[in-house]
Amino acid sequence: MRIQKLDKDSKANLLEDLLRRSPNNYTEYEARVTAILQEVKEKKDAAIFAYTKQFDKADIDKDTIRVTDAEMEEAYQSVDASLLEIIRKALKNIREYHDKQKQYSWFDSKPDGSILGQKITPLQRVGVYVPGGKAVYPSSVLMNVIPAKCAGVDEIIMVTPPGKDGKVNPNTLVAAKEAGVDVVYKVGGAQAIAALAYGTQSIPKVDKIVGPGNIYVALAKKAVYGHVSIDSVAGPSEILVIADETANPRYVAADLLSQAEHDELASAILVTTSEELAYKVSEEVDQFVKELSRGEIIQKSLDNYGYILIADTLDEAIETANEIASEHLEIQTANPFEVMTKIRNAGAIFIGEYSSEPLGDYFAGPNHILPTNGTAKFFSPLSVDDFIKKSSIISYSREALKAAHLDIEAFAKAEQLTAHANSIHVRFENE
**325 CB-near residues (< 8 Å, 6+ apart):** 345, 346, 371, 374, 375, 376, 377
Closest to 35 measured CA to CA, from 144, 154, 189 = 189
Decide: 123 and 387 in contact? Cβ < 8 Å.
Answer: yes
Helices (H), 168-312: 170-179, 189-198, 215-224, 249-260, 275-291, 295-305
Q: 3-state class of 330 per DSSP?
A: strand
Residue 431 Cα to chain centre, angstroms: 57
Task: Exactly one of 39, 262, 284, 328 is catalytic; name it.
Answer: 328
Decide: 64 and 71 in contact? Cβ < 8 Å.
Answer: no
The question of whether 420 is a catalytic residue gets the answer no
Question: Dihedral sign, CA of 309, 311, 314, 319?
Answer: negative
- Give the number of residues written for the chain: 431
Residue 6 CA: distances (Å) to CA of 13, 269, 368: 11, 12, 29
Residue 377 CA: distances (Å) to CA of 231, 324, 328, 347: 16, 9, 13, 9
Task: Exactly one of 327, 330, 353, 357 is catalytic; name it.
Answer: 327
Decide: 372 and 262 in contact? Cβ < 8 Å.
Answer: no
Radius of gyration for the chain, computed over Cα atoms and rounded to the nearest angstrom? 25
Decide: 210 and 129 in contact? Cβ < 8 Å.
Answer: yes
The question of whether 328 is a catalytic residue gets the answer yes
Number of C-beta neighbours around residue 108 at 10 A: 10
Catalytic residue list? 327-328
